[in-house]
């Protein structure tokens, strides 16, 4: 099963052609990068890959990770976050869920269990998880929740599959409250949609409401907007577009996101939530 994500279509196409730059930059993670010192960022595939790894670590660091836990990564992509956890922790039960089977096929090929960990990749919808109740200590959603069909349903599902006291950690791009309607128009506009597919925005107050309605306590937030800004220089240097023209306006969408971040209209946030004990 696949979904309309032109960005992933393009990445998979380039990986299938053994494009070395795409393999380095996106072969493991397909999300924004995190630079502790953005002034030292350089627009190379190698630097971007390190920054993408750092972003995954920032997100799962918000979930109070420890050895021996049961971890669910929703919207797991090519399994990059699971690969990172697999390398840095031991005796974990790691499960990745994604709606796009093509991404899971690559994850299964690329990620092999080590350190006494167990790994499984499952096809499934984030809003109807193929997971038993109270099966996990941690749920992660790295830069994917804006693609989900219904955030509230996902929060309900995350709450259901977490054990009491468990944590949900995610990353998302949140517009200022006054800018939310404009941001949604921008996310739905042709240049952005042609590159990133359907995206639904949510504000900080929206997340506070989601937490309250689903039963979570809102425990953590970290604004890493400035640390992610070099992402745009790399994407623009890469000149992401298809020869058939379907993504020929992608640069405009990337410039728009970059400007919104620099102006503080959209903030890249890491958020954490806990299910009561």
Cβ neighbourhood burial of 277 (10 Å; 0-12, 13-18, 19+): exposed
pLDDT at 183: 87
pLDDT at 140: 98
Residue 232 lies in a domain: yes
Residue 1 lies in a domain: no
Enclosing domain of residue 189: 6-274
Residue 247 lies in a domain: yes
Residue 256 vs residues 18, 150, 250, 261, 263: alpha-carbon distances, Å:
30, 25, 10, 9, 11
pLDDT at 108: 97
Q: Is 40 left (phi over 0), alpha (psi -120 to 50) or beta?
A: alpha
pLDDT at 188: 79
Residue 253 lies in a domain: yes
Which residue positions in the chain have pLDDT lower than 50? 1-2, 241-248
CB within 8 A of 162, min separation 6: which ones? Answer: 134, 136, 137, 138, 139, 168, 275
pTM of the model: 0.93
pLDDT at 236: 85
SS3 for 185? helix
CATH number of domain containing 234: 3.40.50.150
pLDDT at 238: 79
Residue 143 lies in a domain: yes
Q: How many domains does the chain have?
A: 1
């Amino acid at each position: 099963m696949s979904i309309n994500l032109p960005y992933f279509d393009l990445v998979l196409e380039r990986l299938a052609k053994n494009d070395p730059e795409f393999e380095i930059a996106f072969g493991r993670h397909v999300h924004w990068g995190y630079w502790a010192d953005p002034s030292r960022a350089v627009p190379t595939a190698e630097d971007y890959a390190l920054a993408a790894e750092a972003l995954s670590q920032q997100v799962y660091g918000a979930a109070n990770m420890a050895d021996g836990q049961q971890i669910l990564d929703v919207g797991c992509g090519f399994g990059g976050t699971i690969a990172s956890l697999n390398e840095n922790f031991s005796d974990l039960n790691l499960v990745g869920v994604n709606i796009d089977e093509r991404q899971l096929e690559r994850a299964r090929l690329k990620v092999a269990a080590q350190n006494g960990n167990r790994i499984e990749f499952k096809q499934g919808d984030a809003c109807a998880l193929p997971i038993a109740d109270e099966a996990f200590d941690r749920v992660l959603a790295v830069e994917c929740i804006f693609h989900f069909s219904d955030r509230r349903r996902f929060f309900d599902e995350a709450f259901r599959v977490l054990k009491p006291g468990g944590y949900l950690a995610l990353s998302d791009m949140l517009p200022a409250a006054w800018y939310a309607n404009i941001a949604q128009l921008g996310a739905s506009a042709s240049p952005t949609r042609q590159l990133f597919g359907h995206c639904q925005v949510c504000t900080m107050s929206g997340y506070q409401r989601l937490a309250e309605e689903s039963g979570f306590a809102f425990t953590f937030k970290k604004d890493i907007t400035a640390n992610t800004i070099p992402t745009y220089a790399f994407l623009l240097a890469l000149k992401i577009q298809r020869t058939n023209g379907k993504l020929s306006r992608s640069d405009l969408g990337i410039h728009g996101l970059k400007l919104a971040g620099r102006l503080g209209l959209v903030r890249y946030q890491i958020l954490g939530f806990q299910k009561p004990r």
